Copies of this chain bind each other. A is one copy, B any other.
Amino acid sequence: MKSDDAIQSLSALAQPSRLDIFRLLVKAGPDGLAAGTIARRLAIAPNTLSAQLAILAQAGLLDSRREGRSIIYSADFSAMARLLVFLTDDCCGGRPEVCAPLFDLARSCCKPAVKEPIAKEKVR
């Protein structure tokens, strides 16, 4: 990832409505949500939402697809991961303990992504 791309992603997320939108879509998972649903849930005017979605999509953080009259938006998880990698690039500098919080992050994210559905219940 280039610095310009990271700036674009960070700028896209650095706005209250857009951060809410993105986090809502992160929670929604790959299925995503229709623009109208997002507008209703977050109480954002349709035209304002459209502009926000365009900014997030342009930054590569969202995918979109049309389904009937609706346009479904979903978070691009791999783009997200690339951004996080960029931010933490060479974070250790020879001191593995420095980035220990990052491992805690990965572990707290969800149950270890092994093939078997280890835990039935939801994380948190």
Chain A residues engaging chain B, CB cutoff 8 angstroms: 3-4, 6-7, 10-11, 13-16, 19-20, 22-23, 26-30, 77-78, 80-82, 84-115, 117-120, 122-124
Given contacts A14-B14, A77-B98, A77-B101, contact A110 B92 (CB under 8 A): yes
For the residues of A in contact with B, the DSSP-based class is helix
C-alpha spacing A77/B99, complex, angstroms? 7
Report copies per complex.
2
B105 touches A113 (CB 8 A): no
Given contacts A99-B110, A110-B96, contact A26 B81 (CB under 8 A): no
Which residues in B have their C-beta under 8 angstroms from that of A92? 29, 109-111, 123
Q: For residue A15, which residue of chain B has the nearest CB?
A: B7
A30 touches B98 (CB 8 A): yes
C-alpha spacing A101/B105, complex, angstroms? 12
Minimum CB–CB distance from A115 to chain B (whole Å) comes to 8
Other than the given A81-B101, A103-B112, 4 more pairs (CB < 8 A) read A6-B19, A26-B90, A91-B109, A96-B113
Minimum CB–CB distance from A38 to chain B (whole Å) comes to 16
C-alpha spacing A6/B26, complex, angstroms? 15
B7 touches A98 (CB 8 A): no
